[in-house]
Amino acid sequence: MIKSYKARRIIANTLIYIILAVMCLIWISPFVYLLLHSFRGEGGNVTVNYLIPKTYTLQNYINLFSGAGGDASINFPRWFLNTFVVACFSCVISTISVLAVSYSLSRLRFGARKKLMNVGMILGMFPGFMTMIAMYYLLDAMGLTRTLVALVICYSCGAGLGFQISKGFFDTIPRALDEAATIDGANKNQIFWKIILPMSKPIVVYTVLTAFIGPWTDFILAKIIMGDVRENYTVAIGLQAMTTPEFIQGYYKQYLAGSVCVAVPITILFLRMQKYYVEGVTAGGVKG
């Protein structure tokens, strides 16, 4: 009896291993394909009719970063730097906004609290694209279109609306802590900085992470704001531009290399922070 039970378990586990292995293969193979072909040596700047490249070279990456193989309007290093700068600034602003809003709504009590939460919820339900045109002309009126400042504003202005998850996290911290600190003579400001924030590492990391990744992935708003000013492009618009009919013939392999250059750092960052992400999402998500 026991033996057959054990046997059954082994069979079940083997089956699971096989299923998981096949699924992982399906999930990973597109990225392996991307990685391999970004090093492809032969076959010109086009897709090829076989899966595994025959020769490998670093030339695609060298071309990408030196701007060779085309004209100077493809300036990947510059775009990378732009995106990094925008990501850093908008990350700082977004994180401050999200933490400030979610902390206030979670742990402070004031008259307009419920109303603000409802307004936040309602605003979040309109499709984001609706406001883009108006946003463009507002930024234009301030003389900011075609600049990186505009992008920083765009990526961080609405951050405060994404308070739900971190509010959920703050809700889980016992209120007794605040009360004890108040008795010890601390004001709300001190409680926030000295007590709550140090306890909230997972959610801070989660917020920083999502805010930092945003600018690397948006290509619609950024394209509208930057228009023809190529030197202010971010990697996302640049890479998307490379796939348009006008460029794809000359830049296909550079495009693959560029995609790898964007995907690898973000993936590494993400995987290293995965633990906090899971903690943040589950703590915030289940309660909220």
| 13 makes contact with another protein (CB under 8 A) | yes
* Shortest reach from residue 62's CB to another protein, in Å: 20
One of 7, 11, 20, 22 touching another protein (CB under 8 A): 20
Q: Measured from the CB atom, is 154 or 208 closer to another protein?
A: 154
| 97 makes contact with another protein (CB under 8 A) | yes
Distance between CA atoms of residues 275 and 188, nearest Å: 30
| 84 makes contact with another protein (CB under 8 A) | no
* Shortest reach from residue 113's CB to another protein, in Å: 8
Distance between CA atoms of residues 241 and 70, nearest Å: 14
Q: Give the number of other Cβ atoms within 10 Å of residue 44's Cβ.
A: 11
| 96 makes contact with another protein (CB under 8 A) | yes
One of 123, 194, 199, 201 touching another protein (CB under 8 A): 123
One of 46, 58, 81, 180 touching another protein (CB under 8 A): 46
| 176 makes contact with another protein (CB under 8 A) | no
The H or E element that residue 16 is part of is helix 2-38
Distance between CA atoms of residues 21 and 215, nearest Å: 33
| 27 makes contact with another protein (CB under 8 A) | yes
66-100 as b/e, with b when 16 or more CB fall inside 10 Å?
A: ebebeeeebbbebbbebbbebbebbbebbbebbbe
| 132 makes contact with another protein (CB under 8 A) | yes
The sign one gets for the Cα dihedral 280, 168, 123, 97 is negative
Cα–Cα distance list, 114 to 85, 125, 171 (Å): 36, 17, 15
One of 81, 121, 180, 199 touching another protein (CB under 8 A): 121
| 160 makes contact with another protein (CB under 8 A) | yes
Using CB under 8 A as the criterion, what x/- string covers residues 221-260 for binding another protein? ---x--xxxx-----x--xxx-xxxxxxxx--------x-
**Residues 184 to 203: which contact another protein by CB under 8 A?**
187-189, 192
Residue 87 identity (one-letter amino acid): A
Query: Are the CB atoms for 265 and 188 separated by under 8 Å?
Result: no
| 158 makes contact with another protein (CB under 8 A) | yes
